[in-house]
Structure 1
Amino acid sequence: MKLSSVRATCIAALTCAASMTAFAQQPTTLYVASYGGSTETAFREKLIPQFEAKNNVKIVYVAGNSTDTLAKLQAQKGKQELNVVLMDDGPMYQAVQFGFCDKLGDMPVLKDLYPVARMTDSAVGIGVIATGLAYNVEAFKKANLPAPDSWEALTDKRFAQKVAIPPISNTYGLHVLLTFARLRGGDYKNIDPGFTAMTREVGPNVLAWEPSPGKMAELFQNKDVLLAAWGSGRVQALKDTGFPVQFVIPKEGAPALLTAACPVAGNSAPALSRAFVQYLLTPEVQTVLADTQGWGPANSATKLAPAVAAKVPYGKEQVDRLLPTDWKTVNEKRAEWTNRWNRTVER
């Protein structure tokens, strides 16, 4: 063989080998659907880069609320483009029911989770938020009122037209309905006592059934309301602005709202998807989510600095006071309850 032919063959072989090596090193792309706003910022700046570097993966963050993400899963049924999804626990249970979530598999970290975070074998809570009471500390002090410690504060006539509660379309509002059903002798399957309480006892005190976090904050800042039913994370965000608001877990207990995650069934990278969910449950990531998002750790092995621990539901004693929601029953009844709420509570 001529020297020129040998050279050409070697060059071609080297080029092919280099191309194959480059191809082998191309990172896998993982599509993660989660919340926008501060959550997206925290993921992009503090969480994603570390996972990408360790796993030779490129993560594409798809921002949207829980309803948006569930709608994407439904639209892509049978040809899923998303690999991992984060949603509120209610929509996540729907995703599990519809078969959109893959099995979590044998993740060692699962043994460290609080019981409330162990949702199903294909979805898991990664952050714990409490639905409770928020009140204007300065206004209460000025009026010589004791700090509220019970859900019954929402029925106190001293707060007529000074209360704000999200509507039933918002998980916080739904939690209030379920709580008063329980307090008045009902439950998920006997919701009538809850509607009666909301209509006759709580409703007269409510100035606004407000779903928007921004507008809820404005109601407090303008002193239009002194008391609200709201989430611990939302209250902490308002408190961080310097406003004198305080969150309370009522003595009767507080419903837990979980930020949940699952690997998507039938996705293109199942092992990496499970690895990302496991990564979100590590104490290191749980600490970041507590500090930046106000999500209480789902992993009981997480150790928070006192300043961060004060912001979130933290530790066995606090987490044990949070009440799980029977989302299977709720999701079956929610449309019916929403129509009834609109006719009777927010009429």
Structure 2
Amino acid sequence: MIKHVGILGIFLIAASSGANAAETMYIASWGGDVEKVFREKIIPPFEAKNNIKINYIAGNSSDTLAKLMAQKSKQEISVAFMDEFAMVSAVGAGVCAKVDEGEYSKNVYQNARTTGDKSIGLGFYAAGLVYNTEIFKKNGWDAPTSWKDLEDKKYLGKIVIPSIASYGQWVLVMEARANGGSEKSIQPGFEAMKRISPNVIAWESGPAKIAQMLQTGEAALAVWGNQRAAPLIDQGVPLKFVYPKEGAVSAVAAVCPVQGGPQPKVAQAFIQYLLSPEVQTFLATTNGWGPANKDVKLPPAVAARVIYGQEQHNKLIAVDYNVIIPNMPAWTSRWNREVER
């Protein structure tokens, strides 16, 4: 179990004189396993040390971004967690405040930072291929090695790919790159996705549903993250994550203090706490997130299953959100017409 006592003392926020009742701070973050870990292990010690009550608002990244935009004139949320795509949009929309430099934020990998330091990476994961090893063995199939393998007709009705609002955007870009295009030349990606489409049994973004389909064998292959596959593998599910030869996509679980949000000092302290080696190690162990703090030393067994160290970061593909974000409305419309139908 994580030991918080020594670390949390660093982040104690002095209560105002005579104040006994705990204030309430709202954070918006992901649901599922992430919510469970935060509620049970990470939040309570911080609350106790800082005389603060944290209310957790669960939702996907798009939900959180929508809440921040709707409340822009009067924010209720103090700290927001989003996947990189949504976070880049949030920073661009001005709903994230600058992350104050602190003891632990100064030690993060450079690719954990956004322009202007308006958000910071909490953990890294890779988007690639996940397959059911038992189904592949039963069918005599070789393990997938490439993004192009998604086109193979033997996978008819056996692939799960999340929607374009989720991992689907990365599939589109990587298929474009694998077929001579890029973010700036997306046509080869759409042509490839039309060839892949018959193989897809579901355009599913829900982690629980994807896990179920891979476990039951309803799906043999999925586009997913290594952080999602790791806990299932630990539970004995016959899955394996593949880094495609063209490269897996570098993905960041990011956090920002909300511009104009309540309790700004506590929000900054909470972010520093999350970047401490102790909590970073815990998140790597339980959530499969590679640490953003480059000074973290992971046990070998944990290091082997997460994005860890500069060498691994260098092998991942960083997609260009400056190109993707402006094109997403048009791409989404085209995806719905030509791909996911």
What's the TM-score once normalised by structure 1's chain length?
Answer: 0.87
Match of 1:157 among 148, 153, 157: 153
Task: Point out the more displaced range, 248-257 or 234-243.
Answer: 234-243
Shift of the 64–97 alpha-carbon distance from structure 1 to 2, 3 Å rule, reads: same
Residue 140 of structure 2 corresponds to: 144
Match of 1:135 among 131, 140, 158: 131
Task: Point out the more displaced range, 239-248 or 50-59.
Answer: 50-59
Equivalents in 2 of 1:109, 1:214: separation in Å?
A: 33
Q: What are the residue-to-residue correspondences of 1:35-54 with 2, within 5 Å?
A: 35-54=30-49
Q: What are the residue-to-residue correspondences of 1:220-299 with 2, within 5 Å?
A: 220-299=214-293
Residue 5 of structure 1 corresponds to: none
8 Å Cα contact 2:147-2:246 kept in structure 1: yes
Residue 319 of structure 2 corresponds to: 325
Residue 5 of structure 2 corresponds to: none
1:57 aligns with 2:49: no
1:69 aligns with 2:69: no
Q: How far off its partner does 1:183 sit?
A: 1.5
Match of 1:122 among 118, 121, 124: 118
Equivalents in 2 of 1:284, 1:87: separation in Å?
A: 22
Q: How far off its partner does 1:127 sit?
A: 1.3
Q: How far off its partner does 1:184 sit?
A: 1.6
When the two chains are superposed, the root-mean-square deviation of aligned CA atoms in Å is 2.1
8 Å Cα contact 2:83-2:251 kept in structure 1: yes
8 Å Cα contact 2:231-2:286 kept in structure 1: no
Q: How far off its partner does 1:135 sit?
A: 1.1
What's the TM-score once normalised by structure 2's chain length?
Answer: 0.88
Q: Secondary structure at the match of 1:30?
A: strand
8 Å Cα contact 2:132-2:215 kept in structure 1: no
Shift of the 135–105 alpha-carbon distance from structure 1 to 2, 3 Å rule, reads: same
Q: How far off its partner does 1:250 sit?
A: 1.3
Residue 338 of structure 1 corresponds to: 332
CA deviations over 1:198-224 (Å, ceiling 9, x no partner)? 113x22332322223233223323323
Shift of the 203–63 alpha-carbon distance from structure 1 to 2, 3 Å rule, reads: closer
Query: What amino acid does structure 1 have at the position aligned with 2:130?
Result: A
Residue 212 of structure 2 corresponds to: 218
Q: Secondary structure at the match of 1:78?
A: coil
Equivalents in 2 of 1:189, 1:212: separation in Å?
A: 29
Q: Secondary structure at the match of 1:346?
A: coil
8 Å Cα contact 1:113-1:299 kept in structure 2: yes
Query: What amino acid does structure 1 have at the position aligned with 2:329?
Result: A
Equivalents in 1 of 2:298, 2:43: separation in Å?
A: 21
Task: Point out the more displaced range, 308-317 or 284-293.
Answer: 308-317
Q: Secondary structure at the match of 1:177?
A: helix
Q: How far off its partner does 1:248 sit?
A: 1.1
Q: How far off its partner does 1:25 sit?
A: 4.7
Gaps of 5+ in 1: 1-19
Q: How far off its partner does 1:68 sit?
A: 1.9
8 Å Cα contact 1:129-1:231 kept in structure 2: yes
8 Å Cα contact 1:116-1:324 kept in structure 2: no
Shift of the 158–276 alpha-carbon distance from structure 1 to 2, 3 Å rule, reads: same
Residue 175 of structure 1 corresponds to: 170
Q: How far off its partner does 1:193 sit?
A: 1.1
8 Å Cα contact 1:256-1:324 kept in structure 2: yes
Query: What amino acid does structure 1 have at the position aligned with 2:151?
Result: T
Q: How far off its partner does 1:241 sit?
A: 3.5
Task: Point out the more displaced range, 118-127 or 29-38.
Answer: 29-38
Task: Point out the more displaced range, 173-182 or 220-229.
Answer: 220-229
Shift of the 224–40 alpha-carbon distance from structure 1 to 2, 3 Å rule, reads: closer
Residue 23 of structure 1 corresponds to: 18
Identity across matched positions, percent: 51
Task: Point out the more displaced range, 89-98 or 310-319.
Answer: 310-319
Q: Secondary structure at the match of 1:253?
A: coil
Gaps of 5+ in 2: 1-14
Q: Secondary structure at the match of 2:114?
A: coil
Query: What amino acid does structure 2 have at the position aligned with 1:41?
Result: K
Equivalents in 2 of 1:184, 1:114: separation in Å?
A: 31
Q: Secondary structure at the match of 1:154?
A: helix
Runs of 4+ residues deviating >6 angstroms? none
Shift of the 231–75 alpha-carbon distance from structure 1 to 2, 3 Å rule, reads: same
Q: Secondary structure at the match of 2:327?
A: helix
CA deviations over 1:155-202 (Å, ceiling 9, x no partner)? 2233233222122122x11110010111122222221111011113x2
